[in-house]
Structure 1
Amino acid sequence: MTNSERIKMAAGEWYTCIGDELEDLRVRARDAVFEHNSLPPGQRGNMGPALRALLGGAGEKARIEAPFHCAYGFNLFLGDGAFLNAGCTILDAAPVRIGKGTLLGPNVQIYCAEHHREASGRLAGLEIAKPVTIGDNAWIGGSAVILAGISIGEGAIVGAGAVVTRDVPANVTVVGNPARAVTRG
């Protein structure tokens, strides 16, 4: 018996994103995200109830501004006081852990999936998912892109518009495309 695509995805193996099993999970996430994005701010609070229930975990005072998008939701873990500004997109085919007190600016994008290098593999929907971890009290500037498998250390700063292709150590500032360390001023 072959493993399900969800089991392969969770194990960090090549899986196909095309099929009912994963599509059903994405539909559930889209429904929760729709509710979150549609509720009036006074009713939504820090996040819509269906989205909060979907997430892998959300600490006290974790907040997600609308609009927001995630692929699955159950792989997203937010520490106490984590803040995701409007327009964030998290394609959480693998676990995404965002530490306490961490701030994500508007339109930050986190991509856990990598598509197959061969065109035939991409046409078959083959992906491999790698986790993303952002430590406590980090600051990710607006429109930054964080790629699969990246770790960003505690207190790090990622400048607006940066494309993070390598791990960022604690208390380091990176900017640019690809992101490179700079001296804090």
Structure 2
Amino acid sequence: MSDLRAGLYMVAELLARILIHPRLRARCLAMLGARIGRNVRIYECRFINLRNGFSNLRVGDDVHIGAGCLIDLEGPVAIGNGSALSPRVTVLSHSDPGLAHGSPLCERWEPEARGVVIGDGCWIGACATILSGSIVEDRVVVGAGALVRGSLAADEVYVGVPARATAR
């Protein structure tokens, strides 16, 4: 039964992607179980790992999620009020080296779904990647193409791979 349910979530995700208006897409995701705030714009993006449907997605008020973003919903993903994800941002809420097919790498790196938290008033630059377990505190700017792992302190600008605070 869970395979059928997962398949239905995948069909719902595909249908949500073809909705033309970003506010309509946000409302559709709310009807599918995501917690979506007011004045949210979600442009065409992909949601993966929908075993729990869209219930792991929490989006605050006045959020913009740009075109081409990839959001993994295996673990919880929270995006705070007034934050913006530029085009092609990747948010990975879990890591798994291959548990389903018995990869020996799982003995060293156990699968985990720690989720991602993006605070209020953040701006995540184009093509940035945020890894599982990351916490981006309030009013953080993450530069384009940066790789985020861990916690980023509030009111800072982070760039690079791995993302590091810039000198003031």
Give CA-to-partner distance per residue, 1:69-92, whole Å, 9 cap, x none. 343221010000111000111112
The whole-number CA distance in structure 2 between the counterparts of 1:76 and 1:25 is 17
Structure 1 unaligned regions, length at least 5: 1-19
Q: CA deviation at 1:56?
A: 2.9
* Partner residue in 1 for 2:15: 35
Question: Equivalent of 2:83, from 102, 105, 110?
Answer: 102
Normalised TM-score (structure 2): 0.84
Q: Which amino acid aligns with 2:129?
A: V
- Quickly say closer, same or farther: Cα 1:93–1:87, change in 2 above 3 A: same
Q: Does 1:182 align with 2:166?
A: yes
Percentage of identical aligned residues? 31
SS in 2 for 1:127: coil
Question: Equivalent of 1:85, from 55, 66, 69?
Answer: 66
Structure 2 unaligned regions, length at least 5: none
Q: CA deviation at 1:53?
A: 1.5
Give CA-to-partner distance per residue, 1:43-72, whole Å, 9 cap, x none. x63416542212430000111101333432
Equivalent runs, 1:115-154 vs 2, <5 Å: 115-116=96-97, 119-120=103-104, 127-154=111-138
Q: Which amino acid aligns with 1:64?
A: I
Contact 2:118 2:138 in 1 (8 A): yes
Q: CA deviation at 1:40?
A: 3.0
Higher mean alpha-carbon deviation, 59-68 vs 158-167, is at 59-68
Contact 1:71 1:93 in 2 (8 A): yes
In angstroms, what is the RMSD of aligned CA positions?
2.2
Contact 1:39 1:48 in 2 (8 A): no
* Partner residue in 1 for 2:38: 60
- Quickly say closer, same or farther: Cα 1:110–1:67, change in 2 above 3 A: closer
Contact 1:36 1:49 in 2 (8 A): no
Q: Does 1:45 align with 2:23?
A: yes
Q: CA deviation at 1:127?
A: 2.8
Contact 1:85 1:107 in 2 (8 A): yes
* Partner residue in 2 for 1:159: 143
- Quickly say closer, same or farther: Cα 1:121–1:54, change in 2 above 3 A: farther
Contact 1:32 1:50 in 2 (8 A): no
